[in-house]
Amino acid sequence: MLRAPDGRVVVTTDLLLEGRHFRCDWSSPYDIGRKAAAQNLADVAAMGARPTALVVGLGLPGELPVEWLDGLADGLRDECLPAGASVAGGDISRSESVVLGVTALGDLGGRPPVTRSGARPGDVVAFAGRLGHAAAGLALFLAGRDDLPYPDLAAAHRHPRPPYDCGPAAAGLGATAMADVSDGLVQDLGHIAAASGAGVVLDPGALPVPEPLPAAAAELGVDPLGWVLAGGDDHALVATFPADAVLPGEWRVIGEVVAGQGVQVSGYDRPEGGWDHFRE
């Protein structure tokens, strides 16, 4: 039994499958636990709520050692701590591969929820957190590159660092819409645009592409901006605010909401998309 001081409960759930969302040869059980918690806790923060608890459904092969499960539990716990949440319970079963079903709960503290449908023409678009790092780490792993030259990118893929406190803070700053960047900046902003009945125009010059993204992209022969626009799993927060909102340094303005539909990137005819579970 959990307290719900606000009288309302924010709830989100996510499913992680071995081989689809993580690989045990790339990530430790501790990393997998942190990633599983982070991607759910970020969804709670993206509604302007503070996370309170997780419940976890877990499927495991019978031959996995108990130490593996201990590492997973440690990762779940350690990711919950900075967000102010805890693991409240769950269920476990035998399965052919590792399956994690995580449900996160959160409390709004008396604030109205920030949904995806409130963006209006004239609002600015801003983000908090990191973009493109997890996608770059994944690209390096898929290319068979040693992660030693790029430990930050490898770590970003293994477990993200969502800016949890920025979600409730954005609600206090008057955010009109918000989402976490799990499937790619363009794709997740597309959800906001569709729900709000508006369009979004991004300024690529305002999008940060810090090292080591350019160095890793040069090694792989790709444009690092593609990771920033289409890479998911960093779980940054992207939000829209009234044009006169005074945003603290954690938030960086990268575009605006306009009349129309969809997401456009200035100078790009066909902006990069993002992850879709059912698209080849």
Is 176 annotated as belonging to a binding site? no
Is 25 annotated as belonging to a binding site? no
To 5 degrees, how large is the angle CA 47–CA 198–CA 109?
Answer: 15
Distance separating alpha carbons of residues 248 and 251, to the nearest angstrom? 6
275 and 183 Cβ atoms separated by less than 8 Å: yes
Is 183 annotated as belonging to a binding site? yes
Q: How far is CA 63 from CA 44, 74, 179, 199, 264, in A?
A: 34, 20, 38, 51, 49
Among residues 227, 158, 169, the alpha carbon closest in space to that of 46 is found at 169
Distance separating alpha carbons of residues 208 and 225, to the nearest angstrom? 9
CB atoms within 10 A of CB 225: 19
Is 180 annotated as belonging to a binding site? yes
Is 182 annotated as belonging to a binding site? yes
Is 157 annotated as belonging to a binding site? no
Classify residue 244 as left (phi > 0), alpha (psi -120 to 50) or beta: alpha
- CA torsion sign for 105, 111, 117, 122 is negative
Is 70 annotated as belonging to a binding site? no
Under 8 Å CB-to-CB from 40, ≥6 apart: which residues?
Answer: 12, 13, 14, 54, 102, 103, 104
Distance separating alpha carbons of residues 39 and 95, to the nearest angstrom? 22
Bridge pairing between strands 10-17 and 99-107: antiparallel
Is 74 annotated as belonging to a binding site? no
Is 116 annotated as belonging to a binding site? yes
Known binding residues for substrate are 21, 233, 275
Known binding residues are 12-14, 21, 43, 90-91, 116, 180, 182-183, 233, 275
Known binding residues for ATP are 90-91, 116, 182
